[in-house]
Amino acid sequence: MIVIIMGVSGSGKSTVGMMLASALNWEFSDADSFHSPANVEKMSQGIPLTDADRIPWLLAMQSAQAQWLGEERHMVLACSALKSSYREMLYFDPERIRLVYLKGSFELIQKRLAIRQHHFMSKELLQSQFDTLEEPESAICVDASQPPDAIVQQIITTLGI
């Protein structure tokens, strides 16, 4: 099984994803590691990525997921997956891939990004993330303002694993 933790930058995807993987004794992967150096450079300069920039990134994750499923590996993937078209590429096997949406207000996320250090995603890109976000209809929706351990427990309980 693969659990994709999605949401805007600063919603807690990596923190929750690592904690969930640890709690389940699964592996964790962050979508950031699938970005090209050119994409990372653009984002670090405060330049939003285009859909054309994202296609190779999405295809790389789709390929990795297919490999993980083929190897029957249990994985947690932290990925923004802001648009429904992106999720269609990643959420291609609903029986074995589950989607969790960490939903948070602009104000909450803005506060988190203001104190976050050493990350290529600039806080200036936050508005573009919210502008791009198409909230999912077929996801487990979790309030991102909760403590991470409570979020992890809610995910585990909802998934029944």
Res. 114: pLDDT tops 80: no
pLDDT > 90: what percent of the chain? 73
CB neighbours of residue 7 within 10 Å: 28
Residue whose pair of structure tokens reads 């998934």 in the numeric block: 159
Which pLDDT band, with edges at 50, 70 and 90, does 152 fall under?
very high
Tell me how far apart the terminal alpha carbons of the chain are, to the nearest angstrom.
10
Provide the number of structural domains found in the chain: 1
3-state secondary structure of 111: helix
What is the residue range of 46's domain?
2-159
pLDDT > 70: what percent of the chain? 94
Answer whether 111's CB lies under 8 Å from 123's CB: no
Check which CATH number belongs to the domain holding 144 and give it. Answer: 3.40.50.300
Which residues contact residue 31 at a Cβ distance below 8 angstroms, ignoring those fewer than 6 apart? 57, 61, 77, 78, 79, 80, 81
pLDDT tens digit sequence for 87-102: 999 998 999 999 999 9
Res. 136: pLDDT tops 70: yes
Considering the entire predicted model, what is its pTM? 0.90
Mean pLDDT is lowest, of 31-45, 53-67, 69-83, 143-157, for: 31-45
pLDDT tens digit sequence for 37-71: 999 888 778 787 889 999 999 999 999 999 999 99
